[in-house]
Chains A and B, each alone.
Chain A
Amino acid sequence: MKHPFPARSRALRALAATIAITSAAVLTGCTAGAADDRTVLTFFSWSNEETMEPVIAAFEKENPDIRIEFSNAPPVAEYISTLQNRLGSNTAADVFVIAAENKTNLIEGGFVTDLTDEPFMDVASEFNTATYASPDGKAYGLSLSSWASGIVYNVDLLSEHGITEFPTTWDGFVETLTTLKDAGVVPFLESWQGFPTSLGSSVGLANFEAGGTVDAEIFAGKSTFEELWTEPLTPWQQLFEDGLISPDVVGLKGEQVRDEFAAGRVAMMTAGPWDIGAIREANPDLNFTFAGVPQKGGEPFFTGAASPGYAINSKAKEPEAAKTFLEFLASEDGVRIFQEKTNDMTTTSNYTPTIDESLEVPFQALLDGKFYLPMISWPRYQDALYTDLVAQIQLMAQGQATPADVGAALDARLAQESGE
């Protein structure tokens, strides 16, 4: 059967062909007058474009022959899976972020370039560089900042109940919680849907006092989680038993706790530098400041870690441009622009950050090395251990597990992961 409108059919075919050719040209970038001779450096970040844009703009201005092609995925799981897929298909960016969660796989898989002898690494702090180094000491990530989280407290609310100085001892902390609870004030909240600052600081102090090598000993089979964790967790379990902390913490998200604090409905919560802006925005009149987490038998301590670093793909298409970019990121200008945009606590030797006055105490803790985060300190199996850790501490808060059970569960998981 013949088509009734052959002329129209030809016209349609011609139109389809035109559309196809135009689309192909657009998709492949073959448009007249759009030639760009600049070297294209690909950069995959877990910060969004708005955060990285000032640094990228400054870099491109200083290096007019290099253009950065930016892409990002939000942390943590989505970033890691996207990077995994790109590495597996040989389409990963020249520069990408190396984090605690993927550093072992990236280093052991040979996906990142050894940066040990690069001059720009000299400005990075020893701690930050060691965080993203292999067991033999080779550096694979340029980490410019660190973070520390502690307790923020409502200064006016505590003063109203006669507490003019934040306690620095455990007994003083318990007394403060009791005073506030008796007065009908919710004394303390934090989210236990992840690993909380309170426990991180207590385990951190135990590790610090033992010389900071406990995790290495655990993974070497010379010690156990049960030995390290039972004692630091016990006082916190007691707070739940005494009703000074509500088991509701296991069902709260971080932003819900922050909203309660900003609204003046809770006297204390744990927080990091990222919470400052949100609290000020929600309640500009709130008088609050940071303190370390009081500890039983020791000085106040913080939870914290080196921020993720920048790594160069071992199969980078533009390795020299990648090094130039990292060199700029580590320069005084690069660090300053980055810090001004993110308010991060930068720890490089070439720039002293101007930080929010409420963050002076945690910043000092960073300088003193009084912070700890187990997931960074563990050399392997971070996510597997973390999943069990969060589940076990939630059971502890509900009175269904003891501190010893938490440690024992981690030991069992480590044994399973190690194939023992």
Chain B
Amino acid sequence: MTLIDERPTETAAITTRTRAARWWTSPMSTNGPTFQADRLKIGLFLVPMLVVFVALFLIPLVQSIWWSFTDFNGYSTDAAFVGLRNYENVFTDPSMLAGLGFTLMFTLATTVLITALAIPLAVTLDRAFIGRNFVRAIYFFPAIPSVAILGLVWGFILNPLGSGALNSLLQSVVGIGPVPWLSNSTLAQLSVIAVGVWTSTGWHAILYLAYLQSIPDDYYEVARIDGASAFQRFRYITLPLLMPAMTVSWLLLMTGGLKVYDLPITLTRGGPGFSTFTITQTIIQNGVSQAKYGQASALAVIFMLAVGAIVAAQLIVSRRLEGRLS
């Protein structure tokens, strides 16, 4: 019944979108003076965005590419062309290589873990229960404060001494001695990943929840009537219809993970050793602290290309998965 009622609405929406697209692209639409004027107006509305894009992205990008071939130090405007020297130096810098390793580990681990936790959480939060909105707000809360502030707070929670908040709790509840959360290389890496997962799972769960709510109940109703189990309903209805959400979520997690800086810097400052060093930290240190803007720009250019390639690959894989599952 509901399905029948909804169909005309969906069809109407599609028709409206098709008309709009046709209006924008059709050669007929360019003939009338009113259409021409409207298109001009719409174009004018896009100008501020274009100005912002050119001023804050395109010009700095071109500037960075140029600096990557010079010895620009951030102070003197006299920068000499040095060819590919900066690119050579990037690959011999031990902090850069260490930063690359942890950045990739963080990105992969947070993407997998957050996805694995956020989808079941979204499914749970989609069900009706008392205090549902409050629980949703609680899970969403870690996404609100600055990650740098969360890093400082978690620094106190994960204090490796016996007086640290988590260690005190473990001592009193389980009776185990202080765990060196941030003073052991492996544990420090795991701690940074765990806090990263904690800060973002709720946000991504809400993203999945928005997509879940757009799945009509009738699909589940029909599947139930046909005798589908809960797993089958999830596998054949929820998961395929959540694929667009997963594409968006993965894209955000991958780009955010590859650019990670504030969480490790506030939790561990990149240590112990170089174990939680990140690419962005290397770029900032090279450019600002060490006054090697040229080398930092070279690293930024390589990094941008690498991020672009990884994200493109991720989008291709996601699209194929969407096609296969739906």
Is B185 interfacial (CB-CB < 8 Å)?
yes
Indicate if the CB atoms of A387 and B273 lie closer than 8 Å. no
Indicate if the CB atoms of B288 and A398 lie closer than 8 Å. no
Partner of A193, one of B74, B184, B271, B288: B271
What's the dominant secondary structure at chain B's contact region?
loop
Interface residues of A in 220-259 (CB under 8 A from B): 246-253, 256
Given contacts A88-B77, A248-B160, A398-B184, contact A81 B288 (CB under 8 A): yes
Is B134 interfacial (CB-CB < 8 Å)?
no
Given contacts A251-B182, A252-B183, contact A391 B291 (CB under 8 A): no
Is A21 interfacial (CB-CB < 8 Å)?
no
Given contacts A105-B73, A391-B274, contact A416 B285 (CB under 8 A): no
Q: How far is the CB of B251 from chain A (nearest CB, A)?
A: 30
CB-defined contacts of B271 to chain A, threshold 8 Å: 193, 250-251, 390-391, 394
CB-defined contacts of B208 to chain A, threshold 8 Å: none
Is B146 interfacial (CB-CB < 8 Å)?
no
Partner of A252, one of B73, B94, B161, B284: B161
Interface residues of B in 120-144 (CB under 8 A from A): none
Given contacts A395-B273, A398-B272, contact A105 B159 (CB under 8 A): no
Indicate if the CB atoms of A87 and B272 lie closer than 8 Å. no
Given contacts A252-B159, A252-B161, A394-B271, contact A84 B95 (CB under 8 A): no
Indicate if the CB atoms of B273 and A394 lie closer than 8 Å. yes
Interface residues of B in 137-176 (CB under 8 A from A): 155-156, 159-161, 163
**A194 and chain B: residue at smallest CB distance:** B269
A59 to B210, CA, bound (A): 61
Indicate if the CB atoms of A88 and B75 lie closer than 8 Å. yes
Indicate if the CB atoms of B272 and A251 lie closer than 8 Å. yes
Is B76 interfacial (CB-CB < 8 Å)?
yes
**Residues 258-295 of chain B, each 1 if its beta carbon lies under 8 Å from chain A, else 0:** 00000000001111111001000000110011110000
Is A77 interfacial (CB-CB < 8 Å)?
yes
Interface range for A: 35 or more
A84 to B288, CA, bound (A): 8
Is B188 interfacial (CB-CB < 8 Å)?
yes
Interface residues of A in 292-307 (CB under 8 A from B): none
A383 to B292, CA, bound (A): 11
Q: How far is the CB of A305 from chain B (nearest CB, A)?
A: 17
CB-defined contacts of A76 to chain B, threshold 8 Å: 289
Indicate if the CB atoms of B163 and A265 lie closer than 8 Å. yes
CB-defined contacts of B291 to chain A, threshold 8 Å: 84, 102, 105
Indicate if the CB atoms of B183 and A249 lie closer than 8 Å. yes
Given contacts A193-B269, A400-B273, contact A251 B285 (CB under 8 A): no
Indicate if the CB atoms of B272 and A384 lie closer than 8 Å. no
Is A219 interfacial (CB-CB < 8 Å)?
no
A121 to B113, CA, bound (A): 60
Partner of B183, one of A80, A251, A391: A251
Q: How far is the CB of A149 from chain B (nearest CB, A)?
A: 19
Is B102 interfacial (CB-CB < 8 Å)?
no
Indicate if the CB atoms of A391 and B161 lie closer than 8 Å. no
Indicate if the CB atoms of A109 and B75 lie closer than 8 Å. yes
- 19 inter-chain pairs at a CB distance below 8 angstroms, sorted by A residue, are A77-B289, A80-B289, A84-B75, A84-B291, A87-B75, A88-B75, A105-B74, A193-B268, A248-B178, A251-B184, A252-B183, A387-B95, A390-B271, A392-B273, A394-B272, A395-B273, A397-B272, A398-B183, A398-B184
Binding site for A on B (CB under 8 A): 73-77, 89, 92-95, 155-156, 159-161, 163, 178, 180-185, 188, 268-274, 277, 284-285, 288-291
- Sample of 7 more A-B contacts, CB < 8 Å, known A80-B288, A398-B272: A81-B288, A102-B291, A246-B183, A251-B182, A251-B272, A252-B161, A392-B273
